[in-house]
């Protein structure tokens, strides 16, 4: 096997572990809550803290990889992630678990920011899409395996096992990565913009916290308004700092490259749509139909499984035909998937649900690899780390926007549907029908959002596979 494919296996292990840990914890939250005797608001921070840290540090770590080399940052991330996993499994109380999850999030951010950068740095234009598609297979496996594996480990052993299982896997992955990842030379005269990193990190933390808790705290509450103001002020200060910096953390000139900026916008839209579905469907399945959490988790696996099958194929096809049509077609299929979900009746049969989820998975799988390849291939080679971190950041932003938007729509439309169904004290059947109606409304909005994604994918411009973007070529 050629060395580049061995390198891909090391990157895919990191993608699998970081994605798996983001999805495996949710199903163990009730057991953690019972073990530590804490309320729901407290136990939610086991998940929220991890996501906020990851979302706040992707941009800085993308640039840090360009300064210290991708391998060093990636290896450090693996070590931090694995050690923090052991600490999570041994946490004596809820506060300790949340603190160790923060550290684990730091390691995960390093892995997520560096993985695509290493792939883009290793593979030629004609193979990059295929490689990213295969790496996307690891992401999809992590997403699909997480809920089921988490349920099994929690039921057979204890919730601590979902963290401790990372120790032997992480150790083997670190040794493998150390062996196969090539040694790199640190960039000459490269420096890290600490001020820019601090401003971007705090600004993004404020934004993601506001989007995560806006529905619970109230969108017009002083805390949420203050967080949005903090994001705007610090975000503006970050842009001013980057414009005047000799070696900025994010080269703002990259956003003048149309495939780069259009691809980032498309990523936000696609992941906002995807997480609208993954956030709302468990409520429809559990509260609307009475499925157990484990059953609901298994019923949602058609989406990641289909993504796992389609992503490598679409990535390879983008190497041959270019990313524009494939990514745009993927977004169009996602629109059809959401529109079909709006027609899902309350008393649906399993085949009715499965083919709609498969359609959604096909769209996301067709979009993801070509779009990533287009973004990473459009920038100068020395800025691949920045592009990788920025792309990962846009995915996290899209997830947060999707959850916040869909939650707000359901909360607003649910009382309307209850009133339309008769008012008074609703029966269980009325509540289920009203919930389904509100979720259908959110899916309509998700379809409209994905229509925007079709436009952003099309305006990226056409490019022939294997040919450098002219803007990039001029800058290199």
Nearest to 86 by CA among 162, 192, 9, 33: 162
pLDDT at 73: 93
Cβ 296 vs Cβ 285: under 8 Å: yes
pLDDT at 468: 43
Place of tokens 């149309």: 258
pLDDT at 476: 41
Tokens of 65: 């990889």
pLDDT at 40: 67
- Within 8 A by CB and 6+ apart from 239, the residues are 252
- CATH architecture classification, 1-180: Up-down Bundle (1.20)
pLDDT at 270: 92
Cβ 374 vs Cβ 263: under 8 Å: yes
∠ CA 10-98-404, nearest 5°, is 85
Alpha-carbon gap, residue 219 to 204, rounded angstroms:
17
Q: Report CA Rg, the chain.
A: 22
Alpha-carbon gap, residue 81 to 177, rounded angstroms:
14
| Model confidence, pTM | 0.82
> Where does 345-383 have alpha helices with state H?
350-377
- Within 8 A by CB and 6+ apart from 37, the residues are none
- Within 8 A by CB and 6+ apart from 34, the residues are none
- Any idea what DSSP says for residue 185? P
Cβ 385 vs Cβ 70: under 8 Å: yes
Instruction: Give, for all 476 residues of the chain, the pLDDT tens digit.
Output: 578 889 999 998 888 888 787 778 877 887 888 899 888 678 878 888 888 898 889 889 988 988 888 899 999 999 999 999 999 999 999 999 999 999 999 999 999 889 888 988 888 878 888 888 888 788 778 877 777 788 788 878 888 999 998 899 899 999 999 999 988 777 666 788 889 889 999 999 999 888 888 878 888 999 999 999 999 999 999 999 988 888 888 888 889 999 999 999 999 999 899 888 888 888 888 778 888 777 777 888 888 889 888 988 998 898 888 888 999 999 999 999 999 999 988 788 889 999 999 999 999 999 988 999 899 888 888 888 888 888 888 888 888 888 888 888 888 888 888 888 876 677 788 888 888 899 999 999 999 999 999 999 998 865 444 444 434 433 34
Alpha-carbon gap, residue 334 to 356, rounded angstroms:
10
Alpha-carbon gap, residue 89 to 464, rounded angstroms:
49
Q: Which CATH number fits domain 250-476: 3.40.50.10860, 3.40.640.10, 1.20.1250.20, 3.40.50.300?
A: 1.20.1250.20
């Amino acid at each position: 096997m050629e060395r580049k494919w061995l390198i891909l296996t090391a990157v895919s292990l990191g993608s699998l572990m970081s994605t798996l840990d983001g999805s495996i914890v949710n199903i163990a939250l009730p057991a953690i809550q019972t073990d530590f005797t804490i309320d729901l608001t407290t136990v939610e921070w086991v998940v929220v803290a991890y996501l906020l840290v990851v979302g706040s540090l992707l941009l800085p770590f993308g640039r840090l990889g360009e300064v210290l080399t991708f391998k060093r940052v990636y290896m450090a991330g693996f070590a931090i992630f694995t050690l923090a996993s052991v600490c999570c499994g041994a946490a004596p109380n809820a506060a300790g678990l949340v603190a160790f999850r923060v550290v684990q999030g730091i390691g995960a951010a390093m892995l997520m920011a560096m993985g695509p950068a290493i792939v883009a740095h290793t593979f030629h234009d004609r193979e990059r899409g295929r490689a990213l598609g295969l790496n996307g297979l690891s992401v999809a496996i992590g997403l699909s395996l997480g809920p089921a594996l988490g349920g099994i480990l929690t039921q057979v052993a204890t919730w601590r096992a979902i963290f401790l299982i990372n120790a032997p896997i992480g150790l083997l992955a670190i040794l493998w990565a150390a062996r196969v990842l090539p040694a790199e030379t640190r960039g000459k005269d490269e420096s890290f913009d600490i001020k820019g990193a601090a401003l971007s990190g705090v600004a993004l933390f404020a934004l993601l916290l506001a989007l995560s808790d806006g529905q619970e705290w109230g969108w017009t509450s002083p805390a949420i308004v203050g967080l949005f103001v903090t994001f705007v002020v610090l975000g503006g200060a970050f842009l001013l700092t980057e414009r005047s910096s000799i070696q900025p953390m994010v080269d703002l000139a990259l956003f003048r490259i149309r495939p780069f900026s259009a691809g980032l916008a498309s990523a936000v839209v696609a992941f906002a749509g995807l997480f609208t579905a993954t956030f709302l469907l468990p409520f429809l399945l559990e509260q609307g139909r009475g499925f157990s959490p484990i059953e609901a988790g298994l019923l949602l696996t058609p989406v990641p499984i289909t993504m796992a099958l389609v992503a490598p194929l679409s990535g390879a096809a983008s190497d041959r035909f270019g990313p524009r049509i494939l990514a745009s077609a993927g977004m169009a299929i996602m629109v059809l998937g959401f529109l079909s979900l709006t027609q899902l009746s309350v008393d649906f049969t399993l085949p009715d649900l499965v083919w709609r989820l498969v359609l959604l998975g096909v769209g996301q799988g067709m979009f993801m690899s070509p779009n990533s390849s287009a973004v990473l291939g459009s920038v100068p080679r020395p800025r691949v780390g920045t592009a990788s971190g920025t792309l990962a950041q846009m995915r996290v932003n899209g997830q947060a926007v999707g959850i916040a938007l869909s939650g707000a729509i359901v909360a607003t439309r649910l009382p309307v549907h209850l009133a339309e169904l008769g008012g008074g004290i609703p029966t269980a059947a009325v509540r289920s029908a009203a919930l389904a109606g509100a979720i259908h409304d959110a899916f309509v909005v998700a379809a409209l959002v994905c229509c925007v994604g079709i436009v952003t994918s099309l305006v990226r411009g056409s490019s022939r596979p294997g040919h450098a973007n002219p803007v990039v070529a001029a800058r290199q």
